[in-house]
Amino acid sequence: MGKNGEITEEERRQRYEALKEVRDGVIDLKESPLYATRVKPVVGEGDHFASVMLVGEAPGKNEAEQGRPFCGAAGKVLDELLELINLPRNEVYITNILKDRPPNNRDPLPQEIELYAPFLDRQIAIIKPEIIAALGRFAMIYLMERYGMRELIEPISQAHGKVFETEMEYGPVTFVPLYHPAVAVYTRGMREALEGDFRVIERQLEFRKSIRHPPVGGGGLNSKQ
């Protein structure tokens, strides 16, 4: 950080380079069983200094065509949910556990998660988000197992919207499992649950803002002196 807490050019350069290494590693992952059907890998996108990281499952057809996460039907729902809580998409970082599309959008296999997850771990360690939201049960289970919350795992139908605190190497992290935005595409009536889930992120961000910038003249002991 610079003297006034701003991000320096050198810090920006370092993160850019570190994330470029992650990208190059994914591009080179020729041993992946998903490499043979790869159109474009989907590494992730967004603010390298984001407070909020959103982690989905795996790219779908549109994502693999464009090389961008959440740019198809589920992405449209995600954009609307971010808009609902006034969180610009370019201020968060969005990625997936798998960086290549499983054929016919089937569920990720355990050995695929094992192969790709170290890239996600690196992205988390580089970006150091304060809030990590899992989009769907695969991301929830991987992240809770990996980051010290294994005993707290519940079905996503019970866990969604709950707030967990965990400790990463770089500091404390708030973890929030959410329903996957695709549920609102395929199941009518899930939209409200998803909106409620995203309001949880909104409240977490407001809480952090209020700690960083407490209200001025707020009746402290010395306020009348």
63 binds ligand URA (CB under 6 A): yes
Options 22, 58, 127, 183; binder of ligand URA; rule CB under 6 A:
58
Measured from the CB atom, is 146 or 208 closer to ligand URA? 146
- Binding string to ligand URA for residues 174 to 213, with x set by CB under 6 A, is what? --------x-------------------------------
Q: Tell me which H or E stretch contains 46.
A: strand 45-46
59 binds ligand URA (CB under 6 A): yes
Q: How far is the CB of 82 from ligand URA (least distance, A)?
A: 14
Handedness of CA 92, 171, 208, 77 (dihedral sign): positive
CA distance linking residue 48 with residue 75, whole number of Å: 20
CA distance linking residue 61 with residue 72, whole number of Å: 8
Tell me how many degrees the CA angle 64-68-70 measures, rounded to the nearest 5. 90
119 binds ligand URA (CB under 6 A): no
DSSP string covering 62-94: HHHHHT-SS-SHHHHHHHHHHHHTT--GGGSEE
56 binds ligand URA (CB under 6 A): yes
Q: How many H-runs (helices) and E-runs (strands) does the chain carry?
A: 8, 6
Options 70, 119, 142, 179; binder of ligand URA; rule CB under 6 A:
70
CA 49 and chain centroid, separation: 12
Options 47, 57, 100, 197; binder of ligand URA; rule CB under 6 A:
57
69 binds ligand URA (CB under 6 A): yes
Q: How far is the CB of 114 from ligand URA (least distance, A)?
A: 18
Measured from the CB atom, is 59 or 129 closer to ligand URA? 59
46 binds ligand URA (CB under 6 A): no
